[in-house]
Structure 1
Amino acid sequence: MSSSSFSIPKFDVFLSFSGEDSDKTFISDLYRSLSDKGITTYYKDDKLEEKVSPLGSDLTKCIEESKLAIVVITESYPTSVWCLDQLQTILKSQEEGRLSILPIYYEADPSNVRRQTGGFAEPFSKLDDDEYPSEKFQAWRTALAKLTNISGLDSRLWSDEGNMIDLVTNEIFLLVSAKPIDPLATKTSGLFGLDRHLQALYRLLNSKSDEEVFLIAIWGPGGVGKTTLATYAYEEMSSDFNAKLFVANAQEIYNKVTDTESSSSSSKEIQKEAQTVTRSTSNVSTDVIKSKVGYKKSLLVIDCVDNIKQLKDIADIAGWCGSGSRVVLITQEKNLLDEFGVKHVYEVKSLRYDEALQLFSYSAFKQEQPPTSFESLSLRAIQIARFLPLTLKILGSYLQGMGEEEWEKELQELEGDQAKAIMEVMKTNYTRANENEKIPSFILPLNSLSDESSEIKLT
């Protein structure tokens, strides 16, 4: 039987790494962790494979048919022709939309990889210059530089290597087991980290199940992206339900509404139906919601829940929903959830370091990474913004176009009295946005911000 008659297995993950040095233990631990989760992973030592043959059609097909490639960059990675050829194929496959890429910089500085300085100043010094043409060397260098444009993990930022492996494994498990998400849509919207939150939320919602009604809470500090997350999930999952309704503010359930009080489509829908209801004001909207979702498989999302009365009424509404319904409430008040005993809670944590830096860079410079001269200033800025998407967007937009000296002055003021200064920045940006329409309106409300006691969490 010819080799072409063998079917090539499809892998969840293609693991690209150099077999040279200290990364071997990390690689084997990562592979074991992925395997324990049932994630099929292509795992071959380049020092063994490279002696057999160059990158062949079978291996190229393995790359193309994988869902994701993990590229572990160490200082020994660019000394392997096998790895460098793999990287070119991986990037080409990613550009064609075939797979996603997760770079992991293991004891390596991503900026050195990008600029090819430090340990990467002469990355191919161990290769024979006579054996490979200069065009080949340049293509490999370009591939390494391109890789750094993709959000990845820097092992130097993790004190516990095991925690980093757990994070990678859990996120990849969600990626390969849940419904697909368009990464381009989230990226072009500046919604970094949204895809991993969506995957976790989808698993919690389990919209395909028709067995019971779930009351689910999305919880986190103001500005962390709870409403954005819920909105995307609502739009993506609506087709799984017979009825759907998104209430932008829980207080709308209790207010007597008119056509001028709300511009949201869901609120107008409630107002229209409320005109035909003759019950008292305090119960009108509740009854209208029940009439829309009652006895049907429904998706109901209610934002800005901030007191126990609202939560009790939402639970009452859930009791009217048909089997398989999902009632989602969004809140900053964790104590309410504990008091009421809500079992299904999804906590939206702050962005990871790499996600925060990219989001800030897009807001400040309209590119994925800050210019070299602004790197240290940008790191200070994302610390000031506490890794919160809303604050990162507004602070980045505020600093956009300023010189380094102006940045230094502004950041010093922000670091001096962070809570007060951030609020002043947002007020300034609010005015500037109204004048120039530079900032989307959905990020402007000041009352959605977290208070000064919010804790920074790197997840």
Structure 2
Amino acid sequence: MVIIEEASHPWTYHVFLSFRGEDTRNNFTGHLCTALRQMGINTFMDDQLRRGEEISTALLEAIEESKISIIVFSENYASSKWCLDELVKILECRKSYEQKVRPVFYKVDPSHIRNHRGSFGEALAYYESKFKEKVHIWKAALKEAANLSGWTLSENCSESGVIHKIVEEISEQVINNTKLDVAKYPVGIEPRVQEIHKLLGVGETDVHMVGIWGLGGVGKTTIAIAVYNSIAHKFDGSCFLENVRENSNGGGLVKLQEILLCEILKGTKLKVTNVARGITMIKERLKYKRVLLVLDDVNDMDQLNKLAGELSWFGMGSKIIITTRDKKLLRGHSVKLMYEVEELNHDEALELFSMNAFKRSRPLDGYVELTERAICYAHGLPLALTVLGSALCNENVELWEAALEGFKSPNIREVLQISYDSLDDTVKEIFLDIACFFKGEYTDHVIQTLEAYHRKPAKYGINVLIDKALINTSMGCIWMHDLLQEMGRDIVHQESPNIPESVADCGFMKMFTTF
């Protein structure tokens, strides 16, 4: 899965905190900073900076490199020339870098800031004789900031309650800019997400396990990612454990337990020595936390028992989502809330196929009948629609006719193999190498390995495979769907039925046998 990141400006920090130290450093702002950091939000607070007459270069850089600035207006905020200069810089960055700015009115009246009354008026009047030109700029900045949407904390408010609201809202903004990639064309996703929302009961105090099940390629993982993106900010911690089936082999369950704990506990460095110890750590560390956990592509009861054995392992309001092809597995784990992912209906299938084949929601003139044949063969399976549409993109009617002529029945394997058959021999070998050896490996490593054995167009071949939806890259690694991997290995076996393990004759193996 790919993490979507903003490229317009290099953010170093998620949040910059501007505040009057004597007023709130050891209470509200200090507690807010701790709460933000515990949620994995990279927060700058000037604990280590030495204060002087002018703002330091380090502080100016921290403001520029922060996506969000939170200004804690307190009684004596304006009495600090440093704070006022800091405020001016923050508002400059709001204009220059589209930085988000949110004020907190900590036991002060926003109108006093806006109209320069009370302690704010007194401070500005004091500075009038010394910094006449700057006072004009400071007044404008205070007025602008006080007009922004923020949070108000009066004498009767619960500080912890306001901090919780701030952290939840900021967390949502941060997550909205670092979401897991759902799909290039998320056709038909939203109604399915809404159905799962109902099953989960987000906001309720019950701990729920929800199973998402269906055949391979139908979109279980895609839907789970979309659900995760939509609600992750509402929890104390969250984790999306992908490819559990594949990653649990050997000693993989220990690693998955470690990832689960580190993700939910926001970077806490924990070492899991064995599976039994991992279970104990999960139960001890998470039983009081409201968490969102997704276990993707589970195929064995042992995986569930070791990663999410009981509802009691997690705090009130926690939600656990399990995706699998095996409904019986869910029943065996006492998962009562299940959602079966069905194939796309005709209109959804038509749109998804057309987006991949024509880059528009409907087919081009002259391709309507051929498109109907294609979506019939794909049988509403998103993977098949995506692969077939990508394979036929920008091709002429004659090629479409030839490609679709060979179908005898709605066979998914036949649909997927069209893309493979359209590749040149070198790219075919790269596809088979990935299917047999390199799925889940780092992309750079795969390219270097292939090119070391004189496969010069390896990078080009990988790009071709990505364009044809036969592979994808996520977190720097190469992945392909299970059905495509099975197809690749079957092709190798058909070419060399007498060689053990069905992979010895794929392109990469051939390279070894030539030396």
In structure 2, runs of 5+ residues without a counterpart are: 1-175, 432-459, 488-515
Corresponding residue of 2:303:
310
Kept after mapping to 2: 8 A contact 1:426/1:446: no
Check 1:196–1:224 CA distance in 2 against 1; reply closer, same or farther (3 A cut): same
Q: Are 2:317 and 1:324 aligned?
A: yes
Distance change in 2, residues 1:187/1:299 (3 Å) = closer
- Label 1:190 to 1:393 Cα distance change in 2 as closer, same or farther (>3 A): same
Map Cα deviations across residues 402-458 of structure 1 (whole Å, 9 max, x no partner). Answer: 211211111122336834423423545784871334247169623156999xxxxxx
TM-score, with length taken from structure 1: 0.50
CA contact (8 A) 2:232 2:292 kept: yes
Corresponding residue of 1:248: 242
Give the match's secondary structure for 1:328: strand
The share of aligned pairs that are identical, in percent, is 30
2:366 pairs with 1:373: yes
The question of 1:335 aligning with 2:366 is answered no
Question: Structure 1 residue aligned with 2:185, among 183, 190, 201?
Answer: 190
1:445 counterpart (466, 474, 480) = 480
Equivalent in the alignment of 2:201: 206
- Structure 1 Cα separation of the partners of residues 209 and 410 of structure 2: 40
- What is the deviation of 1:214? 0.7
1:434 counterpart residue number: 462
Counterpart AA for 1:218: I
Q: How does 1:327-406 map to 2 (within 5 A)?
A: 327-406=320-399
Q: Which residue of 1 aligns with 2:271?
A: 277
Q: 1:190 to 1:291 in 2, by over 3 A?
A: farther
Change (3 A) 1:292 1:238: farther
1:81-130 CA distance string (max 9 Å, x none): xxxxxxxxxxxxxxxxxxxxxxxxxxxxxxxxxxxxxxxxxxxxxxxxxx
Question: Matches of 1:385 and 1:422 in 2, distance apart?
Answer: 6
**TM alignment of 1:107-186, pairs within 5 A:** none
**Cα offset for 1:371?**
1.3
State the alpha-carbon separation in 2 of the partners of residues 376 and 355 from structure 1: 17
Residues of 1 paired with 2:223 and 2:409: CA distance? 32
Contact 1:253 1:286 in 2 (8 A): no
Deviations 1:207-256 (A, max 9, x none): 1101x211110111111111111111111101221121111132445653
> What is the match of residue 41 of structure 1?
none
Secondary structure (helix, strand or coil) at the match of 2:482 reads: helix
Count of aligned pairs = 265
Deviations along 1:26-46, one digit per CA (max 9) or x if unpaired, are: xxxxxxxxxxxxxxxxxxxxx
Counterparts in 2 of 1:297 and 1:446: CA distance versus 1, 3 Å: closer
Structure 1 distance, partners of 2:395, 2:281, is: 51
C-alpha spacing 1:327/1:406, structure 2 compared with 1 (3 Å): same
AA partner of residue 194 (structure 2): Q
How large is the RMSD of aligned CA atoms in angstroms? 3.9
Residues 162-221 of structure 1 show CA distances to partners (whole Å, capped at 9, x for unaligned) of xxxxxxxxxxxxxxxxxxxx9xx99994111111011111111111101x2111101111
Q: Does structure 2 retain, via aligned residues, the 8 Å contact 1:361–1:396? A: yes
Which blocks of at least 5 consecutive residues in structure 1 are unaligned? 1-181, 453-459
In the alignment, is the contact (CA less than 8 A) between 2:384 and 2:416 conserved in 1?
A: no
Shift in CA distance, 291/265, structure 1 to aligned 2, threshold 3 Å: same
8 Å CA contact retained: 2:239, 2:264: no
Q: Which residue of 1 aligns with 2:511?
A: none
Determine if contact 1:241/1:298 at 8 Å carries over to the other structure: yes
Give the superposition deviation at 1:267: 9.5
Tell me the TM-score normalised to structure 2 length. 0.45
Higher mean alpha-carbon deviation, 247-256 vs 374-383, is at: 247-256
Tell me the residue number matched to 1:298. Answer: 291
Distance 1:317 1:441 in 2: 34
